[in-house]
Structure 1
Amino acid sequence: MRSIAFAAALAFAPLAACAAFAQTAPTSSQSPRPIAIASLKTADGTDAGSVTAYRGPLGLLFRVEGRNWPAGWHGVHLHMTGTCEGPGFTSAGGHVDHPTTDRAHGLLNMDGGPELGDLQNVFAASDGTANAEVYAAGSQTSQHGHDLMDSDGLSFIVHANPDDHVSQPIGGAGARIACGVFAPAG
């Protein structure tokens, strides 16, 4: 009789585990909320889309929704100052770097890269739209004592060319063609 009770307990154990998981699994009401949004503009003020930032457990995810971009691949980077004055958007400063160590540019740079502001390239279709999600690993306040959304702001820059992820200082990405300053999501 004991063996039958034991077998029955084993048979129901996976069901109990599934029920426990179902209670803790994320639901649509627990979907991530954006922490910041940047409206992208070209130097002449043309709408170039938006970028929405989400905080994850190990970094930040950026949802890029581009408009009016030239077709092809584009380097995109996080820049350390939240200003976007044209024509070249140099007011955004350089790429965001690690707070305690000076890193080289490039996601594929095996000699001390990457910087925190280095992101994956984004492709724009022939109609000028670009839709992508890019990820900045290690950009959490709690991990590094560094907040990308600090008091002097944060900019998202779109470059004319793709980033080769190795060359210094910006991976050959070329001119800054669009810029947006992140503001807290409301």
Structure 2
Amino acid sequence: MLKKILLPLAICYSSSILAGADFPIINNQGKTIGNVAIKQGTEGVLINIKAKGLPPGYHGMHFHRKGDCSDLATFKSAEGHIDPHKKPHGYLNPKGPHEGNLPNLIVSQDGSVEVELYSHMVQLKEGPAKLLDEDGSALIIHANKDDHTSQPIGGSGGRLACAIIK
């Protein structure tokens, strides 16, 4: 009887991850400040971000290699950007961009943001730049604007917020 129940549950869980999932965004104090929803598209992922409590202005944002936000002070536990093909950082770099690149996040004066964007450079579960690999990945929101050229992170500065994608 238990096997009959567990198999359908496993299938439902697996297909929901393939279709998409929601992940909380935390700040450097470990407080949940928002959510990122990521859904698999035909050739990439659809990303919906909703958050509050961020500094107003432009903020670099990237997918990082490891789904680990345990180092609250710096979020360095998420490691560097997803970059399986070892390309330079930046949408404006003639030899880039690498797969972890995302557009800047623009936070309103009240510290809130709600945005939908698409990345064709990553997948949820397939290919070399998959978000849901063995150790997951992380969405990191940085302190400064990404200039889309400078190495290694476009001048984006420190890490303000982190979402574990696992």
Same fold (TM over 0.5): yes
* CA distance in 1: counterparts of 2:144 and 2:64, whole angstroms: 17
Q: Is the 8 A contact 1:47 1:67 kept in 2?
A: no
Q: Please identify the structure whose Cα radius of gyration is greater.
A: 1
Structure 2 length as normaliser, TM-score? 0.82
Q: Is the 8 A contact 1:120 1:135 kept in 2?
A: no
2:83 matched to which residue of 1? 97
Equivalent position SS for 1:177: strand
Equivalent position SS for 2:77: helix
* CA distance in 2: counterparts of 1:173 and 1:72, whole angstroms: 12
1:39 matched to which residue of 2? 24
Equivalent position SS for 2:116: strand
Q: Is the 8 A contact 1:117 1:136 kept in 2?
A: no
CA deviations on 1:129-164 (whole Å, 9 max, x unpaired) are 11112322132355x454221110110100011111
Within-5 A mapping of 1:167-178? 167-178=150-161
Residue type of the partner of 2:73? P
Residue type of the partner of 1:50? N
1:165 matched to which residue of 2? 148
Give the fraction of aligned pairs with identical amino acids, expressed as a percent: 38
Q: Is the 8 A contact 1:105 1:115 kept in 2?
A: yes
Structure with greater helix percent: 1
CA RMSD of aligned residues (A): 1.6
Q: Give the count of matched residue pairs.
A: 147
Unaligned runs of 5+ in 2: 1-17
1:118 matched to which residue of 2? 101
Unaligned runs of 5+ in 1: 1-32
Structure 1 length as normaliser, TM-score? 0.74
Counterpart selection for 2:41 from 56, 65, 70? 56
1:88 matched to which residue of 2? 74
CA deviations on 1:46-99 (whole Å, 9 max, x unpaired) are 22211110111111111110110001111111001000021100000100013x
